[in-house]
Structure 1
Amino acid sequence: MRVAILGLGEAGKMYAAAFAEKGHEVQGFDVREVEPLAGVTIAESVGSAVADAELIISLVAARAAVIVAEETRASASPGAVYIDLNSAAPSRKQEVAGVLGPEIKMVDGAVIGSVMRYGAKVHLLLAGAHADEAARAMQAIDADTEAIGGEIGDASQRKLLRSVFMKGLGALVTESMRAGEETGEVGWMRKQIADAVVDGEAALDRLYEGTKIHATRRSFELKDSLAQLQEHAGASVNWPVTRGALDVHSYWSREGQSDLSAELAKVPTAAIGDGGDRLGLVDSAIKQTWPSRPIAGKAFTIHTREGDNQALHRALKEVVPGDILVVSGGGFTERALMGELIAQRAQNAGIIGMIIDGAVRDVDELAKLDFPVWARAVSPAGPYKTGPGRLGVDVSIGGVVCRHRDYVVADADGVVVVPAESAEQVLSSGQAVVKDEAERRTKIQREIAKKTADQVT
């Protein structure tokens, strides 16, 4: 069999040598100058490498895959099997197939496993109409192939999915060992990692389900872990995997958390502020536009250009009932970001209120609709509707950072943002403040009553 290997990096050299050792005629090409390989002819161009080849394996950089395919089409024989083993998105593989045309038998290939460990016998996923034929060709070097058929791009999709775990695992191990180095616990950390990765599916289930069940407790533990690492290594050293793990646990903490909105709405913002170290309190310039009832709910965040409400219209299609729109409008007060019509649409979508760092209008109508709105100002001027704007991002609202799905509580005193991962603690602290104030108020009233009684007698 005549084989062309395009790209003579680590994997390309490996496959070229494997086919040559089995007695096949091998032509190789690389844009860089490469050392001679036993049994392999180094071609001067893609065209000369693929001419008359029955099997063509592309192992070039993903960005060059289309260019190499174009050069291949001009010289390859009709019916040649072309395995694209480049690590690229499915769309890139489909683009390569389109360039090659129907006369070249394009196969989407993906290397699954370690080339360093398994060599030419590393597991290959092969997708597309000619996957079986490609698998038979690769059996010439005893490659471990799996022809999954399907469409061009299916093998690459699986490889990219696997990379989420494998590359993430590599990053995790690297950062964990670095943490061991910083704290003088390399040997102990190494044993912890080795012991944790040998239980197969049992370990998978334990980690996956345990993360979701214990997310809240573990998120606090990770905060302490991050603080310890920063203490040992200094603030200049970054810990991206640990931060990412904290973000993941915080996410599951929020997902698994019961909706505390109804309970939070019963606690005055002043008490929540007092119970939460007086943090999260929004600029006092953002006030009720009319004397509405208190509200509490999860934030649907919007970041919009000053005086432009296009993003609000888009958000109305994505909210869930019970949400509060939190709009960062840059504090601009000369154009209203919403009024009666948006309020009606918001009510229809189940939104219970809005917090806007900007201006609104139609205040009388908002009151008639019983739609609570807190804003920085009231202006009769209407908004622009051209964008841009972003949905579900971290925003600054009255000097306070609000993340998408944090809790927001608003009443006659103002607005407070409650981080989702600490909502239960803040609620408990706020309730304790209310209870303490009630007890003190009762005590004061008793003292007044007693003083009054003594004066009468």
Structure 2
Amino acid sequence: MKVAVLGLGEAGAIYAEAFASAGRRTVGFDPAPAIPTPAGVTRAPSTAEAVADADLVLSLTTAAHAVSAARDAAPALREDALYIDLNAASPQVKAEVARTIGDAARVVDGAVIGSVVKFGAAVEVLLAGPAADAAAEALKAVGSAAEPIGDAVGAASGRKLLRSVFMKGLGALITESVDAGTAAGEEEWMRKQIADVLAGGSETLDRLDRGTRLHAVRRSRELDASIELLADLSVETPVSRGAADRHRYLARSAGDGAPELIDAFAEIPTAAIGDARDRLGFLSSRIRPVWAGARLAGRALTVQTRPGDNKALHRALAVARPGDVLVVDGGGDDSRALLGELIAERAVNRGVRGMVVDGAVRDVDELRELGFPVWAAAVSPAGPYKDGPGHIGRTISVGGAVCAPGDIVVADGDGVFIVPRLEAEQTLAAARLVLEDEAERLRTIRRERA
């Protein structure tokens, strides 16, 4: 019996080694050369060569590559081969895999329930598809607790996504609770409270806390699939959406994709972002660019100061990081400028991308020559006081909008928009759809004119 394993990551390596240890001729393929080949496994140079003449194929390539893996495998598959897709994907993806392979093999939707790292190849697996019973028999060779649940491809993944509503939400809640305990100096007490509630105690808590942080990007996508499933079932998903946002926040906090995300917003007009968010998030139109052509996107570092006083602004510059945008609640005062050329020069040295000020600024010509983007409520030649008080890094109200530290600030000639950091990915996707729709409507209008 020949077994082919597509994807030799964490789970794929465990299954491949288990089949090899069980005496099955096992061939694996993974496009990443840095991923090692498990003991007893022969490595193939391509998907097609891995699956050729295989009796059993396990696809563990990740959901993003499940369909493309099936497409590469289909021409080389035997008609009687079992093709078990074990990727954590939506029922729609599993159905697409089945359509892609067609009659080239017997496709089974597999859903791993539990941790492959903890239980190995003996982990519980749900199987769905016309050949689910045969797949369960094949997986018994490695001690798998495989359960056929029906003939409909996608049913197993649907159950897994229903379980994810709880498991991924629980993991997100634990990380937030642990962070809260740490911030309050009560981490050990907080961990004990959680551990006492969980049936698995500290071991389960540590696994969920660590695993959620490590796999935040992948798990946020799985939760998105769960949310889509629940929407089809007419189930409201406020907790699941919050959990998905929490996973995305963890990914950005770890530096995973944050610069690329912010840079992507730099290409989107504020008008399109506003349309995508029901026009909620714009600063007042009195806050305008102080020189024409300015635009920016960056991470908010918030400053609250007494009207006409910029002591807090100087303190903020001392802690600013590259990529920050200083967002200043100056109370809308237009009598004294909170910043000018000298502060702008210091900001450039710190890597600050620009400033948004609900108050006045000065040295407009110098700011333009420096190329430093600034949006302000007014221009005044009068200098500021430097007495305080003021605060840095608090949630503020600026120009009639709420801005929290780490929110994404997007500004152009039309104005300034604040994107909540926990809703950044959804907002970017929605704004791009707005642009696509507008482009199509514009083409229609121009065709009518021609």
TM-score (norm 2): 0.51
| 1:375 and 2:376 are equivalent in the alignment | yes
Q: For residue 186 of structure 2, give the secondary structure of its aligned residue in structure 1.
A: helix
Q: Does 1:273 align with 2:274?
A: yes
Q: Which amino acid is the alignment partner of residue 417 of structure 1? A: I
Counterpart position of 2:250: 252
Asked if 1:168 is matched to 2:190, the reply is yes
- Corresponding residue for residue 209 of structure 1: 211
Change (3 A) 1:250 1:358: farther
Task: Kindly name which structure, 1 or 2, has the bigger radius of gyration based on alpha carbons.
Answer: 1
Q: Distance in 2 between matches of 1:162 and 1:368?
A: 46
Consecutive unaligned residues of structure 2, counting only runs of 5 or more, are: 1-181, 228-241
Within a 5 Å distance, the mapping from 1:145-156 to structure 2 comes to none
**Given that residues 220 and 248 in structure 2 are in contact (C-alpha distance below 8 angstroms), is that contact kept between their aligned partners in structure 1?**
no
In 2, the alpha carbon distance for the partners of 1:362 and 1:218 equals 47
* 2:421 alignment partner AA: A
Cα distance between partner residues in 1 of 2:195 and 2:212:
20
Q: How far apart are the structure 2 equivalents of 1:346 and 1:162?
A: 32
In structure 2, distance between residues paired with 1:214 and 1:329: 37
For residues 218 and 163 of structure 1, the distance between their equivalents in structure 2, rounded to whole angstroms, comes to: 32
Q: How far 1:310 sits from its partner (Å)?
A: 0.9
Aligned to 2:176: none
Structure 2 CA distance, aligned partners of 1:349 and 1:278? 32
CA distance in 2, matches of 1:204, 1:194: 11
Q: Hey, what does 2:264 align to over in structure 1?
A: 263
Residue segments in structure 1 that go unaligned for 5+ positions in a row: 1-159, 175-192, 225-243, 450-457
**Alpha-carbon distance in 1 for matches of 2:371, 2:359:** 20
Partner of 2:236: none
Number of the residue aligned with 2:419: 418
Partner Cα distance (1:279, 1:343) in 2 = 29
Residues 329/411 of structure 1: CA separation in 2 closer, same or farther (3 Å cut): same
Structure 1 residue 248: deviation in Å?
Answer: 7.2
Inter-partner Cα distance in structure 2 for 1:350 and 1:161: 28
Give the secondary-structure state (helix, strand or coil) at the position aligned to 1:316.
Answer: helix
Residues 216 and 248 in structure 2, CA contact (< 8 A), matched pair in contact too: no
| In the alignment, structure 1 residue 342 sits paired with structure 2 residue 343 | yes
AA at the equivalent of 1:282: L
Structure 1 residues 196-345: aligned runs within 5 Å: 196-197=200-201, 200=203, 203-214=205-216, 217=220, 251-256=249-254, 257-258=256-257, 259=259, 260-345=261-346
Question: Residue deviations 1:104-135, cap 9 Å, x none?
Answer: xxxxxxxxxxxxxxxxxxxxxxxxxxxxxxxx
How far 1:161 moved relative to its partner?
Answer: 11
Q: How far has the Cα of 1:382 moved from its partner? A: 0.5
Question: Aligned partner of 2:354: which letter?
Answer: G
Match in the other structure for 2:162:
none
Once the two structures are TM-superposed, the CA of residue 213 in structure 1 deviates from its matched residue by 2.7
1:325 is paired with a residue of what secondary structure?
strand
Is residue 2:391 matched to residue 1:390?
A: yes
Separation in 2, partners of 1:433, 1:366: 33
| Separation (CA, whole Å) in 1 of partners of 2:327 and 2:313 | 10
When residues 301 and 212 of structure 1 are mapped into structure 2, their CA distance, relative to the original with a 3 A threshold, is farther
Q: Distance in 2 between matches of 1:437 and 1:301?
A: 33
Contact 1:285 1:376 in 2 (8 A): yes
Q: How far apart, CA to CA, are the structure 1 residues paired with 2:185 and 2:347?
A: 41
The two structures, once aligned, show a CA RMSD in angstroms of 3.2
Pair 276,220 (structure 1): closer, same or farther in 2 beyond 3 Å: farther
Superposition map of 1:346-365 within 5 A: 346-365=347-366
Deviation digits for residues 140-164 of structure 1 (CA, Å, limit 9, x no counterpart): xxxxxxxxxxxxxxxxxxxx99972
> Residue 375 of structure 1 aligns to a residue in which SS?
strand
Structure 1 residues 407, 219: closer, same or farther in 2, change over 3 A?
farther
Aligned length: 251
- Whether the aligned pair in 2 keeps the contact of 1:310 and 1:386 (CA below 8 Å) is yes
Does the CA-based 8 Å contact 2:277-2:427 persist in structure 1?
A: yes
8 Å CA contact 1:394, 1:401 repeated in 2: yes
Three-state SS of the structure 1 residue aligned to 2:338 is coil
C-alpha distance in 1 between matches for 2:377 and 2:211: 44
Question: What's the offset of the Cα at 1:278?
Answer: 1.3
Paired residue secondary structure (1:336)? coil
State the Cα deviation string for residues 72-130 of structure 1 (Å, max 9, x = none): xxxxxxxxxxxxxxxxxxxxxxxxxxxxxxxxxxxxxxxxxxxxxxxxxxxxxxxxxxx
Instruction: Give structure 1 regions of 4+ aligned residues with deviation exceeding 3 angstroms.
Output: 160-163, 169-174, 215-221, 244-251
Tell me the percent identity: 48
Structure 2 residue matching 1:396: 3-state secondary structure = strand
In structure 2, distance between residues paired with 1:217 and 1:266:
24
Q: Secondary structure at the match of 1:317?
A: helix
CA distance in 2, matches of 1:163, 1:420: 25
8 Å Cα contact 1:286/1:398 also seen in 2: yes
Tell me by how many angstroms 1:405 deviates. Answer: 0.9
In structure 2, distance between residues paired with 1:398 and 1:161: 30
Whether contact under 8 Å (1:254, 1:421) holds in the other structure is no
**Structure-2 change in CA distance of 1:211 and 1:448 (3 Å):** same
Distance 2:297 2:382 in 1: 29
Q: Distance in 1 between matches of 2:428 and 2:421?
A: 11
